[in-house]
Amino acid sequence: KVISLFSLQASEGVTFIGPDTHAIQAMGDKIESKLLAKNAKVNTIPGFDGVVKDADEAVRIAREIGYPVMIKASAGGGGKGMRIAWDDEETREGFRFSSQEAASSFGDDRLLIEKFIDNPRHIEIQVCIIIIYYLVLADKHGNALWLNERECSIQRRNQKVVEEAPSTFLDPETRRAMGEQAVALAKAVKYSSAGTVEFLVDSSKNFYFLEMNTRLQVEHPVTECITGLDLVQEMIRVAKGYPLRHKQADIPINGWAVECRVYAEDPYKSFGLPSIGKLSQYQEPLHVPSVRIDSGIQQGSDISIYYDPMISKLITYGSNRAEALKRMEEALDNYVIRGVAHNISLLREVIIHPRFVQGDISTKFLPEVYPDGFKGHKLTDLERRELLATAASLYVAEQLRSQQFLGTPRIPIAKSKRSSWELSVRLGDGIYPVAVSKDGLFSVEVDGMKLNVTSEWNLASPLLSVTIDGTQRTIQRLSRNASGETSIQFLGTVYKLQILTKVAAELSKYMPEKAAEDTSSILRSPMPGAVVAVSVKPGDMV
């Protein structure tokens, strides 16, 4: 489709906003782009530069390179068609699966093999240039720019989850060296417009070319935040033929920007398997200062199996990294998404994790920090008491509201003088006695400790701002039923609680429990999709 646009351009005088066909084709092919990078004196990952013919050749090449190796689809992208192999058996298996996935996803089953860089960081350099005749990434006056880097090391299944600019890892010398190589590659491929060169960087700050994206990338807003440039405007100007308005010395690093990719995914399954459904309620946290949201959906939109499950790009900006991360934490707490599973809990846990805050990150961050999979936020004793106190106060506030009448009743009703409640709250495997008293604010006793809880208690709002002993928390109550069960989103994670009066809790032991469903003869798909093959029939031994 892109190539056909250039035919239209020639016949109808339409100008394509972006690079030409040669650059798109050359950089879209990982084998050709690697050869071009080598010729441009750009650092590349050691490996085999040709097409791998079959599994036997893959094993031979992998042995020559030395394990571990990365098997990649030449036409790949988005983490598809990639496998890491640590021995001959994994190489054969990886070759088979990668070639099948590549053919299915891209219509091209060609593969290449490279040395796997263990524990790398994923860093990108944004470039913006103009081509006049033979000059690439330059205007008539020879101007060429690199717009600093983005750190994109937080990934799952080789797809980015959290990005930031600048990187905590690079020093000015390495930044300049990477930028100069990015521009050299763009010139070598006769590139024009805005594009991104991706590098892998090891712990010794050795960097290697990964690929070049001949388009505006998902995470471009963080570059715009720290440079003050409008990249889309620059692309349009370049397409029109105008020279760049800036010199390399004019490109600053002002402040810090962080982007979280908000997905309709279940983060408790492999750090995020797609979820489908209708967005029954959707509210973006645009009231939070220095927040930008790029989205293509709205309340009532359907999230289907046919497109990427991304809901939005959530970007926050601050004068420094700590400020940008604090605003991101607040924005995630104030983001309302109902009707589909989402990854807000995972995003929030990542940005507050001590390793991330310290900048100690790599592409292995998620499996290293959560070796048994993501389980949500683990409450401290104080946070557990805050959640119990908030849930109990919310329960009492609702009880008090149910006693109110609007207008003047025909028959005078005696006002309730009740000011204290004894409750039993179930959270996880624990059952906690909670005492609530109200004298203006709620005073809640949990574990023998008293907490003061205040809020406007607007129970119709999807967001509730609650102050607990001076600490402000934004919570969301997602559901409740007549048996006292309620779901509350607290610190990004959804917790299921059951709140009963002391008497109801004592009587509940006499209630028969619903028998658990017998799933021993059921196979459930972990995610929505299409059944493409059933490889067994009745009577087969499995």
How does pLDDT run along the chain (542 residues), one tens digit per residue?
Answer: 555 656 666 567 788 888 888 888 888 887 888 888 888 898 888 888 788 889 999 999 999 988 999 998 887 766 778 899 999 999 999 999 898 888 888 888 888 898 887 767 777 665 544 321 212 333 434 566 888 899 988 998 888 899 999 999 889 999 999 889 988 888 888 888 888 888 888 777 888 888 888 888 888 999 999 999 998 998 898 888 888 888 888 889 999 999 999 999 999 999 999 999 999 999 999 999 999 999 989 999 999 988 889 999 999 999 999 999 999 999 999 999 999 999 999 999 999 999 999 999 888 899 999 999 999 999 999 999 999 999 999 999 999 888 777 766 566 555 556 789 999 999 999 999 999 999 889 999 999 999 999 999 999 999 999 999 999 999 999 999 989 999 999 999 999 999 999 999 999 889 888 888 898 888 888 888 888 888 899 999 98
Kindly list the distances between the CA atom of residue 22 and the CA atoms of 3, 76, 199, 460, in Å, as whole numbers in the listed order.
Answer: 10, 18, 22, 56
Secondary structure (3-state) at 311: strand
Give the max Cα distance, the chain.
92
Enumerate the active-site residues.
Answer: 211
Give domain limits for the chain. Answer: 46-116, 121-369, 381-403+419-509
Domain 46-116: assigned CATH number: 3.30.1490.20
Given the structure tokens 């961050």, which residue do they identify?
Answer: 365
Compute φ and ψ for 17, nearest 5 degrees.
-85, 95
Tokens 């919570």 map to which residue?
475
What is the CATH topology of the domain spanning 121-369?
A: D-amino Acid Aminotransferase; Chain A, domain 1 (3.30.470)
What is the spatial distance between Cα 70 and Cα 122, in angstroms, rounded to a whole number? Answer: 15
H or E segment to which residue 58 belongs: helix 55-65
Q: Does domain 381-403+419-509 have CATH number 3.30.1490.20?
A: no
